[in-house]
Chain A
Amino acid sequence: MVVTTRLTLDRIASSTRNAGLTSEVIVGDEIIAAEGYILAVRIVSDKSTYNTLEDTTGRMVSLRSGDVLAGTLGVRRALRGYAGDVPSTIAVGDAIDVLNLGGILGRCTSINPDIGPPFQAEVLGAVLSFPELGDRVGRPSHISDHSVPPAETLACDIPVVYVVGTCMNSGKTVAATELVRGLARSGMRVGALKLTGVSLMRDALSMQDAGAVAALTFNDAGAASTHAGMTVPVARGLLNRLAAPLGPRPDVIVAELGDGILGEYGVQDILRAPDLMELGAPG
């Protein structure tokens, strides 16, 4: 039998946003150790650098020892950040690390000396959702709840400008944002996508601020982070959503592929997908 506890969250990470959490949650002690499930954790360390968290509005807020945080289990493979995995089992009281600014939770396996060790946390439980009105038994919340479904076929005929790079921090987001701004100023309706990487709203918000009529990321498709084997259906689903008859229907889509063409976030799968590349405007 699942033992449940009522908790008040101090911080709700942006990576959990599909679940629409409020600060009052119920957590259970049975935890599914897999990507995308939402956990409540208590931060047990303080840091002087890389010590903020993006909340569900996109605002960067400080994170301090003692804060109760809702974050998302996921994997990270950042050349200039942390690497970490979802542990094979997770129980209440276990130690876990905060792997990125979007609140991805996992066990850190490698750090970049520039940012020091990650925030450490104690697992408090699985955040439960009660999808049907009057439900008395909750189920573990997952960020695929209310998400854009991945698709096996592409139903989009809008040209796409793919912005790729050789690695993290190579200038992709600046380029994507300036492309959105310039194309929008020329009178085009511009949609924006971030198709690979690890959950963070910042880049999509930046493209929205530059004039995109809509901006979606893989997180909107229920993925905490991306990897080989899953990015193509996610990309098709997001493109289909932008091109849907009742959707924003842009004239052009600027799609940033986070990380590099040699990284581990599944960029290569997208570059090898003929239907996705058919939409590319190479010049």
Chain B
Amino acid sequence: MAAPDPVGCWGARELMTRDFSLPITLITGPATDNSVGRDYITASLRLPAHNARRDAEGMVDRVRNALEAWHAGRGGK
């Protein structure tokens, strides 16, 4: 999920949970540009936050873990 600001992050989680019943793997976008947004996302929303420009490695690792879990849920690759 990409979001520009904390309100967008909060709204995204609300909509994804309430309207779509879907989890968010991580939040990225301008809301994660510095620690202000990242701290809000991780502390208040309890979601991972990775900036795609400055922490691409962390974002990719998080997604690779999700892919491994997806394969494990289907009985391995």
Contacts and interface: CB of A to CB of B under 8 A. Distances in A.
A166 interface: yes
Interface stretch (A84-92, A127-135, A173-181, A221-229): A173-181
Interface residue tally on B, bucketed by range:
35 or more
B15 to A, nearest CB: 6
Contact of A159 (B9, B52, B53, B67): B67
A281 B30 contact: no
Given A165-B1, A165-B2, A261-B15, A178 B52 contact: yes
A96 to B, nearest CB: 33
Given A170-B2, A178-B60, A271 B29 contact: no
A280 B23 CA distance: 10
Nearest to B1: A164
Contact of A175 (B2, B20, B22): B2
B63 A166 contact: no
B20 A166 contact: no
Interface string A252-271: 10000000011000001001
A182 interface: yes
Contacts of A165: 1-3, 29
Contact of B66 (A174, A271, A272, A282): A282
Interface in B14-70: 15-16, 19-20, 22-26, 28-30, 52-53, 56-57, 59-60, 62-67, 69-70
Contacts of A277: 22
A265 to B, nearest CB: 15
Contact residues of A: prevailing secondary structure: mixed
Contacts of A178: 52-53, 56, 59-60
A236 interface: no
A174 B60 contact: no
Nearest to A177: B52
Nearest to B20: A271
Interface residues of A, number: 31
A167 B30 CA distance: 12
A186 B11 CA distance: 33
A174 B52 contact: yes
A270 to B, nearest CB: 10
Nearest to A173: B2
Given A159-B71, A271-B20, A283-B65, A164 B2 contact: yes
B49 to A, nearest CB: 12
Interface of B: 1-4, 8-9, 11-12, 15-16, 19-20, 22-26, 28-30, 52-53, 56-57, 59-60, 62-67, 69-71
11 contacts: A166-B9, A170-B30, A171-B29, A178-B56, A179-B60, A179-B63, A182-B57, A261-B15, A261-B16, A281-B69, A282-B66
CB-based closest 4 A-B pairs: A283-B66, A182-B60, A171-B29, A165-B2
